[in-house]
Chain A
Amino acid sequence: MGTAIKKGKLHVVTLTVNGEEHAVLVKANTTLLDLLREEFDYTGTKKGCELGDCGACTVLMDDRPVNSCLVLAVEADGHSFTTIEGVEQGGKLDRLQEEFINQAAVQCGYCSPGMILSGKALLMRNPHPTEREVREAIGGNLCRCTGYVRIVKAILAAAEANS
């Protein structure tokens, strides 16, 4: 883990987001969520509760899902992040994104970025999860529209495509 350098009231933070390296000045109380949304305009990272309850702000921190509202920007120093904007590669959707579309797992879409990133983290560490494992992996991501039925199907379908 890197150490943020203090400059007056501000701290220098170096981090990688979606493959791009950034050095930014942040306040001690700036969250990673606000840094991503306000500084880098990665607004796909959603703000739902700011208390770590809803999972709408999930991003991958060194390939592990975290609630970006609970990570301070200074803690992001030296780490690598993937937001939903970094999942599509060269104009080609990730299989998981395709399955979210095919299975009609998207309704209002506010939870979708976090769901997809939690699903992606699961498939990276466990390419062939059981349904129970899928449900556990998205247990921290609330959805109010779908009852999770099609989200679970989409993640399982993407896993199926892995084999």
Chain B
Amino acid sequence: MSEATTKEFSVIGKSVPKIDARDKVTGRAKYTGDLKVTGMLIGKILRSPHAHARILSIDTSKAEQLPGVEAVITAKDVPATFYGISPARYDETILAIEKVLQVGDKVAAVAAVDEETAVKALGLIDVEYEVLPAVLDPLRAMDEDQPQIHPQYERNISVEIHQDFGDVEMAFQQSHLVRTDRFQGNRATHVPMEPHAAISKWENGKLTIWSSTQSPHYFQYHIARVFGLKMGDVRVIKPTVGGGFGGKLEPSAAEYVSAALAMKTGRPVKIVFDRKEVFFHNRGRHAQHIELTTGVTKEGKILGVHGKYIIDGGSYTSLGIASAYYAGAMLPLIYEFDHFKFDCFRVHTNLPSCAAQRGHGAPQPRFAFESQLDMIAKELGMDPIEIRKVNARRPNTMTLNDLKVNSCEFMACLEKAREISGWVGKKGKLPPGQGIGIGCGGFITGAGYPIYRTRLPHAAAIVKVSEQGDIATLYIGAVDIGQGSDTILAQMAAEAIGINYEDMRIVSADTETTPHDFGAYASRQTLMSGHAVKQAGEEVRRQIIELAAELLEASVADLDIDRRVIFVKGSPEKMLPFETVANEFFIRKGPLMGKGSYTPPKLGGKFKGAAVGTSPAYSFAAQISQVEVDEETGQVMVTNVWDVHDCGTVINPNLLHAQVEGALFMGMGEAMYEQVVFDDKGRPLNANLGEYRVPTALDVPQVISELVDSYEPAGPWGVKEVGEGATLPTMGSYANAIYDAIGVRLYDLPLTPEKVWRAIHERKKPS
């Protein structure tokens, strides 16, 4: 958003420093693994070496006798309650009951006085397995000859989706051109720099868990359910969190097992995953196998789309049902068309579980769509930006799957991206081996419905002004996992009250001291938690103004507050400092507080799965990438990326662009380098940060992040999404730029030098 439109604000729209930055640059910020609780033991989990095996027996006697070991537990010592995150598919237990379903599955656990003793004890547990044939290829998982992984999922089908909007066959018949292409996605994973960690304390029938979590609320809900406790007897506290990206949205064995060990020993127990365990827990990107058919008119107008998917869900369901629906639901968002068919099988394999990762289910289909759209443009002799403009969504429209779009500046994004990238001078005009390509995306601003059925509001906030009126504290359940929600929510509170950012303190993400909020996922907090904060702040403002009116003998309507000064509009000499009025308020009436909450309007259609993809608001983005390809080696160097985002009003420009840069970076890693690979026994071959190739500072291009003017009526002050949307366009824009550079089309992520090199040689073969 331009300076001109943000000028009216005192605190929002400004790049204030992050509220926790000083603690983070000095090492004072405490993450879960940094905490020590008196009497604390260290927990370790024994994990399966087999992808699929029956547990015949477990002998823990030797481990129990090791000095320093306080407890050894197996499935018989813990609740057998099935859990998960999609209520229709609870299929995981704290420790494996009968079978292990993946390498790294949870078999037994130990609590000991220190890590070394705990690790030694794991080695003393004897487990006898009957190794079973494993399902390792998602494309074969549904075949008759494959073993069935879960008794309740026949042919290993986790979910089967068939959605049919309009009449896609008719659309194809009316089309000038119909193309079918097949694309293959990769198993990427979040790689938060902080591994999952939890400390559980069991005292007087109450369980307290410090956890590296994206959602204290969901953790509290699931942990209470699994252990049969009242929610009020489970307290989840989020210390500083070192990144999540979707991987810390549900409790892991770190929470469940440490809680079970704490209950058994009566002592606090800490579990910190090592890096390999983070790969075992996974919940990363589903590898999607996509067959996409699209029909267009001569002018490039899209008439119909049919997507057929098989996606690899891995061992447990986790949030995978939603991921599967998102893979289809987001396709009709950014381009307008009326006929769409979506067929998807999410299948189980004996590999780590897949779930939500930045852009949830949508980035790989977007890669397929953006790639195919370029192929169609080529056949029609159209410029790739032109074909996108022909189809670009307009504001105040409804998608064919009943997603209501308010603000939408996608057209402006396309135009600005074309301008700032120098597209016209570059497209088709760069020297051999160099190319430019476009990819686009759009994303939700918070999910329209929570993950389990509840009538709770999605966000809530309390603001309390101190007795002296010098500071105000925001109590909020929203979860800062690094993206900066504590900062921007504090800015919003200050703006709403009429005080300075520096006057704000924040207490966040603790189920006991802060009001309910669903947490950090689906790019929801700026809009949803922001609404609650604005309401709470405005309630404080209203009370202050009422008292000030009395003290100044003025009418409420004539008063305003700006940066701690309460004044009569038009006669600014009639004023009172904020602290004077706030202090007087406390003396006369007690605590000065405001509260707020937010529930989105009822959204979405009536068909099966209609809730997925609903949101109060949608962001849009266009991304252009420029590449250089070495045809000898297949090495691709991305030199520049330009991202133009339609994200509504900006609360903190620095943090906003940092979100775009980070989201784009995650898309870039998935596009170019990242893939978890397995051997023929289902053992991960690169479950470490040396061989799972997260891009380094030397691998990333120059990134320019720009915005278009936009105002979202459904958001407080006009805000909407920014944290995930920029992940979606990157893979397609890279593939399209590579095509522009060397004339070869890649259908298979990641776009490695080997694949580029092979595609070049394939092209050179005489046909």
B195 within 8 A of A: yes
Cβ-defined contact, B29 with A146, below 8 A: no
Q: Is the CB of B191 within 8 A of A144?
A: yes
Point out the residues of chain A lying under 8 angstroms from B29, CB to CB: 109
> A30 CA to B622 CA in the complex, in Å?
50
Is the CB–CB distance between B27 and A101 below 8 Å? no
CB of A136 within 8 Å of the partner chain: yes
CB–CB A87/B700 < 8 A: no
| Interchain CA distance A112-B190 in the complex, whole Å | 18
Knowing A112-B25, A145-B482, A150-B658, the reply to whether A51 touches B703 (Cβ < 8 A) is: no
Contact B698 A139 (CB under 8 A): yes
- Within the complex, the shortest CB–CB distance from B508 to chain A, in Å, comes to 15
Tell me the chain B residues, 241-262 only, with Cβ under 8 Å from chain A: 241-243, 245
B18 nearest CB neighbor, chain A only:
A106
Type the 1/0 row for A16-57, where 1 means its CB is closer than 8 Å to any CB of B.
Answer: 000000000000010000000100001111111111011010
> Taking A104-B654, A108-B481, A110-B243 as contacts, is the C-beta distance between A147 and B192 under 8 angstroms?
no
Q: How far is the CA of A46 from the CA of B689 in the complex (A)?
A: 15
Interface residue? A160 (CB, 8 A): no
Note all chain B residues with C-beta closer than 8 A to A135: 697-698
CB closest chain-B residue, reference A146:
B662
Residues A44 and B275 in contact in the complex (CB < 8 Å), given A101-B17, A104-B18, A104-B658: no
Q: Say yes or no: A48 contacts B275, CB within 8 Å.
A: yes
Interface residues on A, range: 35 or more
Residue of A nearest to B641 (CB): A147
Bound Cα distance from A66 to B690, whole angstroms: 16
Do the beta carbons of A93 and B26 come within 8 Å of each other?
yes
Q: Quick one: which of B183-219 are within 8 Å of A by CB?
A: 190-195
For A53, give its contact among B240, B661, B688 (CB under 8 Å): B688
For B275, list chain A residues within 8 Å (CB): 48-51, 53-54
Structural contact, A101 and B688, CB atoms closer than 8 A: no
Residues of chain B within 8 A (CB-CB) of A146 are 658, 661-662, 665
- Report if B20 contacts A (CB, 8 A): yes
Interface: A3 (CB within 8 A): no
Bound complex: CA A145 to CA B726 (Å): 13
Task: State the CA gap A119–B694 with chains docked (Å).
Answer: 20
Rounded to whole angstroms, the CA-CA distance of A111 and B242 in the bound complex is: 8
Chain A hits for B690, CB < 8 A: 51, 53
Distance of B466 from chain A, by nearest CB (Å): 25
Q: Does B103 contact A (CB under 8 A)?
A: no
A67-103 vs B, Cβ < 8 Å mask (1 yes, 0 no):
0000000000000000111011000010001001111
Nearest to B29 among chain A residues (CB) is: A109
Question: In the complex, how many angstroms separate the beta carbon of A119 from the nearest chain B beta carbon?
Answer: 11
Query: B761 on the interface (CB 8 Å rule)?
Result: no
Q: Which of A47, A87, A145, A152 contacts B697 (CB 8 A)?
A: A152
The answer to whether A84 touches B27, judged by C-beta atoms less than 8 angstroms apart, is yes
Task: Report if A151 contacts B (CB, 8 A).
Answer: yes
Q: Is residue B227 within 8 Å, beta carbon to beta carbon, of the partner chain? A: no
Asked if A106 and B662 make an inter-chain contact with CB atoms under 8 angstroms apart, the answer reads no
Contacts of B23 in A (CB 8 A): 109
A1 CB, nearest partner CB in chain B, Å: 26
Q: Which of A43, A48, A150 contacts B27, CB < 8 Å?
A: A43
Interface string of B13-40 (1 = CB under 8 A from A): 0010110111111111111011000000
A116 part of interface (Cβ distance < 8 Å) = yes
Query: Are B33 and A47 in contact, with the CB atoms below 8 A?
Result: yes
Q: Does A143 belong to the interface (CB within 8 Å)?
A: yes
Q: If the complex has contacts A45-B27, A85-B26, A146-B662, are A138 and B697 also in contact, measured as CB distance less than 8 A?
A: yes
- Alpha-carbon gap, A103 to B690, bound state (A): 29
Which chain A residue has the least Cβ–Cβ distance from B21?
A: A101
Which residues does chain B contribute within 8 Å of A100, judged by CB atoms?
A: 21, 25
Shortest beta-carbon distance from A83 to chain B in Å: 7
Does residue B274 face the partner (Cβ distance < 8 Å to A)?
yes
Contact in complex: A42, B27 (CB < 8 Å): yes
Interface presence of B60 (CB below 8 A): no
- B742 to chain A: closest CB distance in Å? 26
A107-163 contacts to B, CB under 8 A, are 107-113, 116, 134-136, 138-152
| Interface residue? B484 (CB, 8 A) | yes
Nearest residue, chain A, Cβ from B690: A53
Say yes or no: A107-B482 contact (C-beta < 8 A), given A93-B25, A144-B193, A149-B661: yes
Q: Which of B31, B666, B688 contacts A110 (CB 8 A)?
A: B31
A46 touches B662 (CB 8 A): no
B27 pairs with A85, CB closer than 8 A: yes
Name which of A37, A53, A116 has the most chain B CB atoms within 10 A of its CB.
A53
Q: Which residue of B22, B30, B700 contacts A147 across the interface (Cβ within 8 Å)?
A: B700
- Chain B residues, Cβ within 8 Å of A50: 274-275
Q: Which residue in A109, A143, A147 is a CB contact (below 8 Å) of B240?
A: A109
B70 to chain A, nearest CB (A): 19
Cβ-defined contact, A136 with B698, below 8 A: yes
B193 pairs with A54, CB closer than 8 A = yes
CA gap between A116 and B22 in the complex, in Å = 13
- A143 surroundings in chain B (CB, below 8 A): 193, 697
B118 CB, min distance to chain A CBs, angstroms: 14
**B689 contact from A53, A106, A110, Cβ within 8 A:** A53
With A46-B194, A139-B696, A139-B697 as known contacts, state yes or no: A109 contacts B20, CB within 8 Å.
yes
Task: Report the minimal beta-carbon distance from A20 to chain B, rounded to whole angstroms.
Answer: 15
Any A CB within 8 A of the CB of B483: yes
- Contact partner of B483 (CB less than 8 A), chosen from A47, A107, A141, A142, is A107
Cβ–Cβ contact A51 & B24, under 8 A: no
Residues in chain B near residue A42, CB distance under 8 A = 27
Chain A CB within 8 A of B624 CB: no
Residue B499 lies at the interface, judged by CB distance under 8 Å to chain A: no
At the interface, yes or no: B655 with Cβ under 8 Å from chain A? yes
Among A46, A49, A97, A110: residue with most chain B CB under 10 A: A110
B694 to A142, Cβ gap below 8 A? yes
Query: What A residues does B657 contact at CB under 8 A?
Result: 104
Whether A107 pairs with B697 at a CB distance below 8 angstroms is: no
Q: Are B27 and A83 in contact (CB under 8 A)?
A: yes
Using Cβ atoms and an 8 Å threshold, which residues of chain B touch A84? 25-27
A-contacting residues, B618-636, CB 8 Å:
none
Which chain B residues lie closer than 8 Å to A107 at the CB level? 243, 482-484, 658, 662
* In contact, B27 and A110 (Cβ under 8 angstroms): no
- Chain A residues with CB under 8 Å of B700's CB are 147-149
Given contacts A54-B689, A146-B661, contact A108 B697 (CB under 8 A): no
B755 to chain A, nearest CB (A): 23
* Alpha-carbon distance between A27 and B238 when the two chains are bound, in angstroms: 33
B100 within 8 A of A: no
For residue B272, CB closer than 8 A to chain A, the reply is yes
Within the complex, the shortest CB–CB distance from A32 to chain B, in Å, comes to 16
7 A-B pairs with CB atoms under 8 Å apart are: A49-B275, A50-B275, A54-B689, A101-B25, A108-B482, A110-B193, A152-B697
Query: Which B residues are within 8 Å of any A CB, using their own CB?
Result: 15, 17-18, 20-31, 33-34, 116, 190-195, 240-243, 245, 272, 274-275, 481-484, 654-655, 657-658, 661-662, 664-666, 668, 688-690, 694, 696-698, 700, 703
- Taking A43-B34, A100-B25, A107-B484 as given, write out 17 further A-B residue pairs in contact, using a Cβ cutoff of 8 Å, ordered by the A residue number: A37-B34, A44-B27, A46-B242, A49-B689, A93-B25, A100-B21, A109-B242, A109-B482, A116-B25, A134-B697, A139-B698, A142-B696, A143-B193, A144-B694, A145-B662, A146-B665, A148-B700
The 3 closest A-B pairs by CB, nearest first: A44-B27, A108-B482, A147-B665
Q: Which residues from chain A sit less than 8 Å from chain B, CB to CB?
A: 29, 37, 42-51, 53-54, 56, 83-85, 87-88, 93, 97, 100-104, 106-113, 116, 134-136, 138-152
